Amino acid sequence: MGKLGFSLSDKYTKRAGLDYWESVDVQKFDTLEQLQLKFKDANFYYLTTKSKKSYFDIQFKNGDFLVFGPETRGLPKKFLEKNKENAITIPMLENQRSLNLSNSVAIVLYEAIRKNGFQ
């Protein structure tokens, strides 16, 4: 899928982490494929507006990964077709705009944490 599209510079990571740095293990991977190779037994879920499978229906486990695309265009169509069994969505009313990326991440991540008993 290519390189990840966000900055890990000190300025941005410190601001995002605030008081949580002691709980964070930041690891950098140049491609999604490298991450998948390191975590071969993990489930990867791909968030998209182009799936009918709701994130409510997933029994998330510790060690699962949530993959989001760029806010302006989402994950590539060819990539989603290749991974359609793990493509999931946040249900929304028809003909409504999509949620922004940070809200989408917060919604699905919090549900995954909740389903794991806040572990």
- What domains are defined for the chain? 39-115 (3.40.1280.10)
Torsional sign, CA 59, 101, 49, 67: negative
Q: How far are the Cα atoms of 13, 18, 21, 50 from residue 24, in angstroms, in the given order?
A: 11, 11, 5, 31
Q: What per-residue confidence (pLDDT) applies to 37?
A: 96
Q: How confident is the model at residue 12 (pLDDT cuts 50, 70, 90)?
A: low
Q: What is the pLDDT of residues 17-27, one digit of tens each?
A: 666 777 777 78
Q: What is the pLDDT of residues 70-98, one digit of tens each?
A: 888 899 999 899 999 999 999 998 888 77
Q: What per-residue confidence (pLDDT) applies to 15?
A: 67
Q: What is the pLDDT of residues 46-66, one digit of tens each?
A: 999 999 999 999 999 999 999
Q: pTM here?
A: 0.82
Q: What is the pLDDT of residues 102-115, one digit of tens each?
A: 899 999 999 999 99
Which amino acid is present at 75?
A: L
